[in-house]
């Protein structure tokens, strides 16, 4: 294989990538990276105006076709309409980044201790973090079967793999408020891994590869106390940056990973090795 042929393995030229949670912290970075790598991109988020604004910005920077579509991924009807819109505007869907997640409608309720956690908040978070992923995978998977294949990448979390160290949260804040990692987050992200494994074998004969991307802690507004305590738990001694997830994403989306399915790629600075 020549150097050029090797480089072409990672090319996304001519591919259409759909990113849910596309207007969020990670989603914005992912959408820009895919466009920069030659793909046309569908930015999907619940805020229709935010998706269209971001799509226009990325299209201007990259010169690629980028569309923004508002979608409530907890609604089967909204998801079905979204997929039809993307196919109508961009022609097909080659890659799905099943990335949307939620903390629910109340941060006070989301961060409550396990003993006081309400079933309403639990179900509200699960409706996005796993029910929504199911609905999007189902609808996009149908489209990919019609096309003869594709790649699905589902975003999990390091806390879907290992338990959070509760000691790091004393004095820790995010955007000025005390934080923790609630059980619903860990349970929902562990469920993502189970869904990935199942779909990877279920759709293998249809040419659809399904893998998970599991980020470790990403620096995004945590206070210095949290940063130091978390970094002390990581072999590389620091938190990650959203941009450091892009390499793994490009690999899983491209032909470079053509024989990879049912896997969970962990990008955590070595945290899970301890």
Whole-angstrom distance, CA of residue 263 vs CA of residue 154: 10
Helix (H, G, I), strand (E, B) or coil at 66: strand
Give the active site residue among 156, 157, 212, 257.
157
Q: Comparing C-alpha atoms, which of 44, 54, 46 is closest to residue 17?
A: 44
| Alpha carbons within 13 A on the beta-carbon side of 245 | 33
174 annotated active-site: no
Whole-angstrom distance, CA of residue 122 vs CA of residue 82: 26
Whole-angstrom distance, CA of residue 218 vs CA of residue 260: 25
Report CA-CA distances (Å) from 53 to 43, 46, 117.
Answer: 10, 13, 36
117 annotated active-site: no
Whole-angstrom distance, CA of residue 219 vs CA of residue 245: 12
| Alpha carbons within 13 A on the beta-carbon side of 71 | 35
Whole-angstrom distance, CA of residue 125 vs CA of residue 120: 9
Give the active site residue among 151, 189, 230, 251.
189
Q: Comparing C-alpha atoms, which of 270, 220, 215, 208 is closest to residue 247?
A: 215
Q: How many CB atoms lie within 10 A of CB 205?
A: 8
Give the active site residue among 159, 169, 185, 230.
185
81 annotated active-site: no
Residues belonging to the active site: 157, 185, 189
């Amino acid at each position: 294989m020549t150097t050029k042929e090797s480089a072409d393995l990672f090319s996304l030229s001519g591919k259409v990538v759909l990113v849910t949670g596309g207007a969020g912290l990670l989603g914005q970075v992912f959408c820009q990276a895919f466009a920069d790598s030659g793909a046309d991109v569908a930015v999907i988020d619940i805020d229709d105006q935010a998706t269209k604004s971001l799509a226009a910005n990325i299209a201007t920077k990259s010169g690629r076709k980028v569309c923004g579509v508002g979608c409530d991924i907890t609604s089967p009807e909204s998801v079905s309409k979204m997929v039809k819109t993307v196919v109508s505007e961009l022609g097909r869907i080659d890659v799905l980044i099943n990335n949307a997640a939620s903390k629910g409608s109340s941060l006070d309720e989301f961060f409550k201790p396990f003993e006081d956690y309400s079933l309403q908040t639990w179900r509200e978070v699960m409706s996005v973090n796993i029910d929504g992923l199911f609905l999007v995978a189902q609808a996009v998977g149908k489209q990919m079967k019609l096309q003869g294949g594709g790649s699905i990448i589902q975003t999990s979390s390091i806390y879907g793999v290992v338990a959070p160290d509760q000691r790091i949260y004393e004095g820790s804040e995010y955007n000025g408020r005390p934080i923790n990692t609630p059980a619903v987050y860990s349970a929902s992200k562990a469920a993502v891994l189970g869904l990935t494994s199942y779909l990877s074998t279920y759709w293998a004969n249809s040419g659809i590869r399904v893998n998970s991307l599991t980020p470790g802690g990403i620096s995004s507004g945590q206070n210095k106390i949290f940063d130091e305590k978390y970094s002390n738990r990581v072999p590389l001694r620091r938190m990650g940056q959203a941009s450091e997830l892009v390499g793994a994403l490009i690999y899983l989306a491209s032909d470079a990973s053509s024989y990879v399915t049912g896997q969970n790629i962990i990008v955590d600075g070595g945290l899970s090795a301890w």
